[in-house]
Amino acid sequence: MIDGFRGTLLAALVLVGIAVPLSAQQPSLRVVATNSWTAAFAAAAGAVDIVTLAPSDLRHPAEYELKPSDVAALQGAGLIVYTGFEVMAKKLAEAAGSQRIRLLQIGADYSLATMRASILAIADITATQPKARASIVSLESLMTAWKTELRGAGLTGAPVIVHLFQQPLMAELGFDVRGVFGPGPLEAAQITKLTPLNARFIVDNWHNEAAAPLRETMKSARYVSLINFPGPDGTKSLFDVISDNRARVKVAAGY
Contact between residue 132 and residue 139 where contact means Cβ atoms under 8 Å apart: no
Q: What is the mean pLDDT of residues 86-96?
A: 92
What's the rounded mean pLDDT across residues 112-141? Answer: 98
Maximum Cα–Cα distance across the chain? 93
Least confident residue range of 25-39, 40-54, 72-86: 25-39
100-116 mean pLDDT: 97
Is the Cα dihedral 97, 101, 105, 108 positive or negative? negative
* pLDDT for 6: 44
The secondary structure of 135-166, three-state, reads HHHHHHHHHHHHHHHHHHCCCCCCEEEEEHHH
**Which position has the higher pLDDT, 1 or 33?**
33
Give pLDDT tens digits for 228-240.
999 999 999 999 9
For 139-172, how does the pLDDT look when each residue is reduced to its tens digit (9 = 90+)?
A: 999 999 999 999 999 999 999 999 999 999 999 9
pLDDT at position 24 = 44
- For domain 153-253, the question of CATH label 3.40.640.10 is answered with no
Could you tell me the pLDDT band of residue 73, with boundaries at 50, 70 and 90? confident
- The architecture (CATH level 2) of 24-137 comes to 3-Layer(aba) Sandwich (3.40)
The per-residue pLDDT for 28 is 85
Better pLDDT: 190 or 8 = 190
Handedness of CA 235, 134, 45, 114 (dihedral sign): negative
**Does pLDDT of 16 surpass 70?**
no
CB atoms within 10 A of CB 13: 10
What confidence category does residue 27 fall into, taking pLDDT thresholds of 50, 70 and 90?
A: low
Radius of gyration of the chain (CA): 23
- Which pLDDT score, from 0 to 100, does residue 26 have? 53
Domain with CATH 3.40.50.1980 in the chain: 24-137, 153-253
Q: Which of 92-113 are b and which e, b meaning 16 or more Cβ less than 10 Å from the residue's Cβ?
A: bbebbeeeebeebbbebbbbee
What is the C-alpha to C-alpha distance for residues 67 and 188, in angstroms, rounded to an integer?
Answer: 38
**What are the CA-CA distances from residue 132 to residues 39, 42, 168, 224, 252 (Å)?**
14, 9, 21, 31, 33
pLDDT at 51 over 90: yes
Cβ neighbours of residue 5 closer than 8 Å, sequence gap 6 or more:
none
Percentage, residues of the chain above pLDDT 70: 89
The predicted model gives 215-225 an average pLDDT of 97
What is the residue-averaged pLDDT of the chain? 91
